[in-house]
């Protein structure tokens, strides 16, 4: 069984902004409910099917499998719930910890989130000056939730 432990933050209005080249992500959900989600994701020329369990604070079960790119495109175009989630992802190293900053596009344009995956829940991390409010426990910021309630509708 796989698991994911992550914390999620909004960006600060006062800190410096991360910059550099990002990777375009396009993802959609085959299933979204309170107990689980099934996601198809394309990043660059790679694709995955990911199944996630219910979040319990910052931890949840996660299973991820590579799939053929053409299958992922077909699933996104024909079977996934709409709107699709589109975002540009930036990876930033902060004192040995990889932060992923997602700048959302489309119906979620204007939303920028930073995530950090942890090895264990008690792991101490350095918060960069561009980190703002923590939203780990706010389900509105889950990518799966942004399908049913896009950021533009808030």
Please identify every residue annotated as catalytic: 29
Of the candidates 152, 112, 147, 126, the residue with the CA atom closest to the CA atom of residue 17:
112
Q: Is the dihedral of CA 16, 86, 105, 3 positive or negative?
A: negative
Cis (ω within 30 of 0) for the bond into 83?
yes
User: Cβ(17)–Cβ(130) under 8 Å?
Assistant: yes
> Residue 145: in which H helix or E strand, if any?
helix 145-148
18 contacts 129 by C-beta, under 8 angstroms: no
Q: How far apart are CA 38 and CA 44, in angstroms?
A: 20
């Amino acid at each position: 069984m796989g698991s994911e432990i992550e914390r999620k933050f909004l960006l600060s209005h006062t800190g410096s902004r991360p910059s550099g080249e990002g990777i375009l992500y396009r993802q959609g959900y085959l299933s979204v409910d309170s107990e689980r989600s099934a996601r198809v994701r394309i990043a660059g020329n790679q694709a995955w099917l990911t199944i996630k369990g219910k979040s319990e604070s910052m931890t949840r079960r996660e299973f991820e499998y590579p799939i053929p790119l053409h299958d992922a495109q077909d699933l996104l175009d024909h079977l996934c719930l709409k709107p699709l989630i589109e975002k540009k992802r930036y990876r930033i190293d902060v004192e040995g910890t990889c932060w992923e900053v997602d700048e959302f596009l489309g119906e979620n344009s204007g939303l920028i989130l930073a995530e950090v995956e942890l090895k264990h829940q008690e792991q101490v991390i350095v918060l960069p000056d561009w980190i703002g409010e923590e939203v780990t426990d706010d389900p509105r910021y889950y990518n799966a939730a942004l399908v049913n309630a896009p950021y533009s509708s808030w």
